[in-house]
Structure 1
């Protein structure tokens, strides 16, 4: 397992704007065999019910402050709220229904892409799947749902945000969605 740097390129209170940015980035990326991963903190029974309707086999474990339990043990998640969701390897078309089900609960929706394309005009080489990721933090500014806000942040992942070639890709992707790289970077386990 390795790490990537997740660079924030757009933070907005408008979920529609954040989703448009994600769709634009997905249109740029090679997504033939892409998947989406979900991480969230679910606090309300209503959100839980919507998510279970969408993902009946939802993978979760208890959150600090909640009752102990997990999907692996066959426990009832409604009796263990709040819970942390770690449910991976879903088709891309589940991302927006998952986001719509969240209400005000925080999540990170990570898109595992096949590649970022070569962009000769910008001097960018193709980046293979290993470092071709995109994350939308919903109701949170960070990847881990620690900074809860009423806004949403789009992150693009690179191998090392301090390397000029990777910084150039961050700036180029930010420009494509009307965002800007402010220098805010988090380390993400891949």
Structure 2
């Protein structure tokens, strides 16, 4: 039996179109494995994943990474929050808010913050829905975890997050090159040159 090719993906990343192409072109089974952003490199390091769709940055001393696209940053709020009255916000508009989960940029509101427990993204959205704080996240995450009792708005002065495809430096086999080719849009007949 052929060992499956395992591709991890962070919340909000959508590997489906590439997986579909892989499955049409390859006899090797493909497994898609959801991973939490804080653990996005672990499966690559320990060899349980062959490649992962990650949010940058990643450790380039250990991993190859091809940047793929940028994601619009948004603030997720309860559906009755004042932010819902506008089309977009700036970080200054959020200065007095409670941030329920740290943002990768390191930005923090000016208001004293509560000592929130570590939360998964779904738990953070649930907390926001209760009206007790806000969440900064990529738009893809906000869309995926959207609820009737939440809303989101772009944050215009927060840097975009970047999604990339990562794999270990010491692994560069035919299966990895095939998946890279699929992600880059190569057809079965195109060369790697």
TM-score, normalised on structure 1? 0.30
- Structure in which a larger fraction of residues adopt strand: 1
TM-score, normalised on structure 2? 0.29
